[in-house]
């Protein structure tokens, strides 16, 4: 809402906006502390120190004051010292 659209919109199905903040990602019983990169209408890009398998069911939240949002890993790409992970949000309440 307040971020700038990224420069790769030409290849994206949804406009993404820069959104950088620490977040919590839960995969089964394992907790990952991730950092968001960008956000769109139906997903969030995060940086994670662990590799996450594509289609892995996860839950994501900003902090302990927020509810967990069900999601799935859309892609996971290795980068220097971490992984860029695309998370597809599932607002199935």
Neighbours of 25 (CB within 10 A): 24
Q: How confident is the model at residue 24 (pLDDT cuts 50, 70, 90)?
A: very high
Q: Can you give the pLDDT at residue 11?
A: 54
- Angstrom distance (rounded) from CA 49 to CA 41: 25
Q: Which residue from 50, 61, 42, 41 is spatially nearest to 85, judged by alpha carbons?
A: 50
In this predicted structure, the answer to whether residue 43 has a pLDDT above a threshold of 80 is yes
Quick check: 93 pLDDT over 60?
no
pLDDT tens sequence across 53-78:
999 999 999 999 999 999 999 999 99
C-alpha 72/C-alpha 93 separation (Å) is 15
Contact 61, 49 (CB under 8 A): no
Looking at domain 9-89, which CATH architecture does it have? Beta Barrel (2.40)
Q: Where are the domains of the chain?
A: 9-89
């Amino acid at each position: 809402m307040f971020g700038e659209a990224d420069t790769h919109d030409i290849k994206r199905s949804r406009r993404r906006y820069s959104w950088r903040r620490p977040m919590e990602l839960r995969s089964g019983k394992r907790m990952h502390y991730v950092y968001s990169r960008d956000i769109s209408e139906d997903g969030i890009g995060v940086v994670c120190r662990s590799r996450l398998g594509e289609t892995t069911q996860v839950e994501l939240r900003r902090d302990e004051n927020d509810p967990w949002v069900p999601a799935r890993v859309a892609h996971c790409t290795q980068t220097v010292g971490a992984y860029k992970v695309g998370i597809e949000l599932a607002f199935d309440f």
